[in-house]
Amino acid sequence: MLWDAEMVFKVVTIFLYLQGLVCSFVTHICALQGTSVTLPCANDIYTFLMPNVCSWYKSKENVPIIENPHYIGRVMKCDCSLMMNNLRENDSGSYRFLKQEVALSVTDLQLKTMDSTVTEGQNVTLTCFSTCTLRNSPIYFWYRDRQLATYTTGNKLHLSQVTSQDTGNYSCAVKGHENRLSSDVPIVVKYNPLDLSVSVSPSAEIVEGRSTILTCSSDVSTAVYNYTWYKKNGVEYLLIGSGYKYIITNARPEHSGLYRCVAERTLIHRSSMDVLITVKYSPRIPEISISPSGEIVEGSSVTLTCSSDAYPAVSSYMWYQKNGDGTVFRGTGKSINFTLASGDHGPYYCEAQNEIGAQNSDVVLLAGEKKSLLAVVVVGSVLAVLTVGGVIALTHHVKRKKSDPVGNTSPKSQDTHPISHDDTYTALNLKAKSSEYETLNNVRKLPCNPALQAAAEASHYENIQERISYL
């Protein structure tokens, strides 16, 4: 009969067992959930006799650990010793290897205290524990609001004469497994009967340039050794002074905000409620915006808008236009709208007013393109169109014939000052550059046909359209 290795192993094991070299034993192991553990071998003889065979079983199960789906991917080594990682709570139980048995307890850390709400100056003790006793007397790490606060060699943390700064959520862990924190336990430190209040004189609303005094006081007779003052800046409070009084002189808008005082006595700090200080100020120099921007054509709509910073906010806006040495009232409201006419080019300014005072803006001018038609007149054989923006003239030489008695054209009957060749156009010459509002008298008079001139003088406005059509 051929003996295989397993049979030889069993025979040798029975022999050794009978000789007392292999003894059955039970040991207990406590491990944290999520960590790793090694279930030790009772005697190295097993490793020597059967180094590659995994014969570990859980409790009374007949399926080896190596074949159990519950342990797939978590068995790191399985021969005489069994190594597992990422322990779970249901891994707790008895494990056997031949005659030896190991009891495994998987636990988690917990934190407790006698009272989670205490008063300033009292003592607090926190205890970190598990359902089984961890081996090797681990070092305990203590956390407040998930930030490391301290560490101890035992599982207790003593807080003496607590203050408001000790308030927070506490948790614990053991060295080597700092990521396995216990659940949080809140500690709330209530204030001692030290009720602080802040009074303001003459008022919490200050007019710019004036002063006010903030006074911090307590309702107990116990001496307060130090007062400090803070002003809120975003989410933080900035230290601004000390003493039970804080004086604001020559108040400015940046003095507005939330203020508090902090009183300190032995091991105790107490803050007052926030007090709101506001600084009132008259309107700053208003700014005027124009819509549309750039040149504005006369006859089109224009909007002027006035804006100014003030506290309280501007209650009224008034608009004025300068007229010589005086002013003309143009309306009220943050914005005014009107159609631009020849006399509307400015200058303008607005006045902003609140309960503290009033302020005028700088003046603004409206730049406009002027295109109002003033006149169309006939000057000799020239039609001149005068606009506010300037003079535009078109000339047209009119063919005129005077017949002699025999029907021939006589040179003497022609104009002594011909203007141009037939069917040509030239620009009208000006005597000098004239104002946009000056008349045609500033235009140099040119020779003209007496007949056309007489017709124009007989009727100043008649047949103008006909003459334009003639061009």
For 114-132, give the DSSP string.
Answer: S-SEEETT--EEEEEE-SS
Yes or no: say if 208 and 253 are a contact pair by the CB < 8 Å rule: yes
Q: Which residues pair with 303 in a beta bridge?
A: 291, 337
Q: Which helix (H) or strand (E) holds 394?
A: strand 390-395
List C-alpha distances in Å: 323 to 302, 303, 344, 442: 19, 20, 10, 28
Residue with tokens 């190991």: 102
Sequence letter at residue 468: I
3-state SS, residue 218: strand
C-alpha span between 123 and 141 (Å, rounded): 20
Mind listing the pLDDT tens digit of every residue in the chain (471 residues)? 555 555 555 555 555 544 444 444 558 899 999 898 988 876 655 555 555 567 788 888 888 888 888 888 898 887 778 889 999 989 999 998 877 788 999 999 999 998 888 887 889 999 999 988 887 788 999 999 999 999 999 899 999 988 878 899 999 999 988 888 999 999 998 766 567 889 999 999 999 999 999 999 876 555 566 889 999 999 899 999 999 899 999 999 999 999 999 987 765 677 888 999 999 999 999 999 998 887 788 888 999 999 999 999 999 999 999 888 889 999 999 999 988 887 787 789 999 999 999 999 988 887 655 443 333 333 333 333 333 333 333 333 333 333 333 344 333 333 433 333 333 333 333 333 333 333 333 333 334 444 444 444 444 334 433 433 333
In terms of DSSP bridges, do strands 124-129 and 156-159 run parallel, antiparallel, or are they unpaired? antiparallel
C-alpha span between 120 and 167 (Å, rounded): 10
Superfamily holding 287-369:
Immunoglobulins (2.60.40.10)
C-alpha span between 452 and 20 (Å, rounded): 152
Say if 196-280 and 287-369 have the same CATH topology. Answer: yes
DSSP 8-state code for residue 104: E
Sequence letter at residue 102: V
Superfamily holding 5-107:
Immunoglobulins (2.60.40.10)
List C-alpha distances in Å: 378 to 357, 384, 397: 60, 6, 13
Angle ∠(374,379,384) on CA atoms, nearest 5: 35
Continuous H helices in 355-463: 450-458
pLDDT at position 219 is 65
Yes or no: say if 317 and 283 are a contact pair by the CB < 8 Å rule: no
In terms of DSSP bridges, do strands 335-339 and 301-307 run parallel, antiparallel, or are they unpaired? antiparallel
pLDDT at position 53 is 65
C-alpha span between 368 and 332 (Å, rounded): 23
pLDDT at position 378 is 33
Identify each DSSP E strand in 153-256 by its residue range.
156-159, 168-174, 185-190, 196-201, 205-207, 212-218, 226-233, 236-242, 245-248
Yes or no: say if 387 and 364 are a contact pair by the CB < 8 Å rule: no
C-alpha span between 181 and 86 (Å, rounded): 15
Rounded to the nearest 10 degrees, how much is the dihedral formed by the CA atoms of 92, 93, 96, 100? 100
pLDDT at position 311 is 94
C-alpha span between 289 and 426 (Å, rounded): 44
Q: Tell me the CATH number of domain 196-280, given options 2.60.40.10, 1.20.1250.20, 3.30.565.10, 3.40.50.1000.
A: 2.60.40.10
pLDDT at position 294 is 76
Phi, psi at 95, each rounded to 5°: -125, 140
Locate 406 and state its tokens: 């025999």
Identify each DSSP E strand in 354-456 by its residue range.
358-360, 368-369, 373-379, 382-387, 390-395
Query: In the CATH scheme, what is the code of domain 115-190?
Result: 2.60.40.10
pLDDT at position 218 is 76
3-state SS, residue 67: helix
For the chain, the domains span 5-107, 115-190, 196-280, 287-369, 373-470
Helices (H) and strands (E) in the chain, counts: 4, 36
